[in-house]
Amino acid sequence: MRRFAAFVVCLGVTVASVGISGCSSDKKGVPAALTGTLSVRIDWPGRTRYVPPYANSVVLELKITQTGEVRTLTVNRGPNDSPHTGQVTFPDPVLAGSHLLTMKAYDGQDGTGELVASGNRVVTIRAKETTSVNVSADLQSRVSVVIIDNAPTTFQAGNQTTLIGHAEDENGQTLMLPAGALRWAIAAGQTFATIDPITGLFQANAPGEVTVQFSEPGAGAEDSADITIIAPPPPGFGNVAVSVDWPGRSRYVPPYANSLVATIGTESITINREGDGPSTGSRHFPNPFDVTGNPYTLELEAYTLVDGQGTKVAEASLTINVIDGETLSINVSGELESVIDRIVIEGPFTVQVNETVQMIGHARDASDTIILLPAGAMTWSQVSGAEFGTIDSSGQFQGLSPGVARVRLEEPGAGVFAEADVTVVAAPPPPPVYKLVFTRDELDNPEVYFMNSDGSGLLNLSNWSGLDEKPEFDATGSRVIYASTRDEGEWTDIYIINSDGTNRRRLTDTSGPDTDPAISPDGSKYVFASRRDGNVDLYIGDTAGLEQNIVQVTSDPAIESNPVFSPDGALVLFTSDVNGTKDLFVYDVNSQNIAPIITGPGEDYDGRFSPDGTKIVFASDRDGNAEIYVYDVNLMTTTRLTFRESADERPAFTHDGLRIVFVSDRTGNVEVFLMNANGTAATNLTTNTNDDVDPHTPRLP
> CA 156, CA 624: separation in Å to the nearest integer?
48
Whole-number pLDDT of residue 46? 67
What integer pLDDT is reported at residue 32 of this predicted model? 64
- pTM for this model (two decimals): 0.62
Q: How many CA atoms lie within 13 A of 317 on its CB side?
A: 4
Longest dimension (CA), the chain: 122
- Intervals of the chain under pLDDT 50: 1-28, 48-51, 251-253
My answer on whether omega of the bond before 348 falls inside 30° of 0, hence cis, is yes
Distance CA(259)–CA(300), nearest Å, equals 10
**Cα-Cα-Cα-Cα dihedral of 347, 647, 686, 477, to 10°?**
90
Give the model's pLDDT for residue 254.
61
Q: Strand pairing partners for 573? A: 564, 586
Looking at the DSSP assignment, which residues form a beta bridge with residue 423?
350, 404
φ, ψ of residue 623 to 5 degrees: the values are -105, 20
pLDDT at residue 23 in the model: 35
What's the whole-number average pLDDT of the chain? 88
Domains of the chain are 14-141 (2.60.40), 145-338 (2.60.40.1080), 348-425 (2.60.40.1080), 435-696 (2.120.10.30)
- β-strands 154-156, 221-230: how paired? parallel
Are the C-beta atoms of residues 336 and 316 closer than 8 Å to each other?
A: yes
